[in-house]
């Protein structure tokens, strides 16, 4: 079912919120498509039954399988053109890059080759950069929100801000405890960027639609700062990243019991270590065949 947010802007709520925008020519733009073919069919059915028109373009927020997993199915049925940011577009074209990057750049475990982490390949017809963009006559502002992925972007259309995964809702944070991040440094900057976007409605990639992102930004920033402080605390004694990760999982009681959960958080710890090293709060050394981190 489509939920109307503006004169021509709608959303199909779900595990991933999919944006729907009516263009002047009666055609439709999507913002993300969801995790798999079932999601894509659901969105197309809602559009055709409730609004009419055909999908002309898909604006992808970032290269995580749960957001572009239905791209291939939608493109097959509609011929839609796909837009994505540089860097992230490589993952759309070559989805194995996502589980491989989580697994240290190596051939990933079969347990990491599931639909949650490995989507069907999506074409990319045009790459987008921050700034104005016109698609099918619709004026769009592309907003850089990198951090959760290498080059995540949001889209501001008619005062509706599709802000991807720059914030996660309270229930998701409560469930997973520590969110996956590619870059903590960039993510903190993205939270500041999102806080300064003027909009009437904000649509996070997951969770409820809100009029203001203020509370969610504060919640997400507070968690990031807490995790960073714990990393520094756990590096009071020279430690490997593996030891820091194990202590974080115990401290936050993170429910990690499978390979995807573990390998989403292992690189996240490295993102915190890079950020804290950059900030001068910890130092790094290679000694005795180990990569070691120590608080300043």
**pLDDT value at residue 30:** 98
Closest CA to 62 of 152, 128, 162: 152
Mean pLDDT of 88-113: 98
Cβ contacts of 264 within 8 Å, gap of 6 or more: 102, 180
pTM: 0.96
In the predicted model, what is the mean pLDDT of the chain?
96
**How far is residue 237's CA from residue 75's CA, in Å, rounded to a whole number?**
52
> Cα angle at 59 between 47 and 168, to 5 degrees?
95
pLDDT above 90 for 162: yes
The structure tokens listed for 289 are 């065949």
pLDDT above 90 for 213: yes
**Stretch (H or E) spanning 55:** strand 55-59
**pLDDT value at residue 294:** 98
* Residue 227: band (very low, low, confident or very high) from pLDDT cuts 50, 70, 90: very high
pLDDT above 90 for 200: yes
**pLDDT value at residue 245:** 97
CB 238 within 8 A of CB 282: no
Helical H segments across the chain, by residue range: 37-50, 65-68, 71-78, 88-93, 97-102, 170-176, 184-195, 214-234, 241-251, 259-278
**pLDDT value at residue 52:** 80
**pLDDT value at residue 51:** 79
CB burial of residue 171 (10 Å; 0-12, 13-18, 19+) = exposed
**pLDDT value at residue 74:** 97
> Cα angle at 216 between 168 and 184, to 5 degrees?
60
pLDDT above 90 for 62: yes
* Domains delineated in the chain: 3-223 (3.60.15.10), 230-295 (1.10.10.10)
pLDDT (tens digit per residue) in 9-50: 999 999 999 999 999 888 999 999 999 999 999 999 999 888
**pLDDT value at residue 6:** 94
- Sort strands 290-295 and 282-287 into parallel, antiparallel or unpaired: antiparallel
Mean pLDDT of 105-115: 96
**pLDDT value at residue 50:** 85
């Amino acid at each position: 079912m489509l939920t109307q947010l503006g004169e021509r802007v709608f959303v199909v709520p779900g595990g991933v919120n999919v944006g729907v925008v009516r263009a002047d020519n009666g055609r439709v733009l999507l913002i993300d498509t969801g995790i798999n073919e079932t999601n894509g069919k659901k969105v197309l059915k809602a559009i055709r039954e409730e609004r009419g028109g055909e999908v002309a373009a898909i604006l992808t927020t970032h290269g995580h399988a749960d957001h572009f997993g239905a791209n291939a199915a939608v493109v097959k049925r509609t011929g839609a053109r796909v837009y994505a940011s540089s860097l992230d577009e490589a993952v759309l074209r070559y989805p194995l890059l996502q589980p491989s990057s989580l697994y240290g750049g190596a051939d990933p475990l079969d347990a990491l080759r599931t639909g949650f982490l490995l989507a069907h390949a999506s074409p990319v017809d045009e790459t987008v950069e921050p700034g104005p963009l016109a698609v099918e006559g619709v004026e769009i502002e592309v907003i850089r929100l990198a951090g959760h992925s290498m080059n995540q972007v949001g889209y501001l259309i008619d005062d509706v801000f599709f802000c991807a995964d720059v914030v996660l809702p309270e229930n998701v944070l409560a469930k997973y405890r520590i969110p996956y991040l590619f870059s903590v440094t960039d993510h903190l900057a993205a939270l500041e960027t999102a806080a300064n976007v003027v909009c009437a409605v904000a649509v996070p990639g997951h969770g409820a639609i809100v009029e203001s992102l203020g509370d969610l930004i504060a919640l997400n920033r507070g968690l990031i700062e807490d995790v960073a402080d714990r990393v520094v605390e756990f590096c009071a004694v020279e430690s490997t990243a593996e030891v820091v990760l194990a202590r974080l999982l115990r401290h936050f009681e993170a429910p990690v019991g499978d390979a995807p959960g573990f390998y989403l958080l292992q690189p996240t710890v490295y993102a915190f270590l890079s950020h804290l090293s950059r900030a001068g709060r910890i130092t790094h050394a290679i000694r005795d065949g180990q990569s070691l981190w120590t608080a300043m």
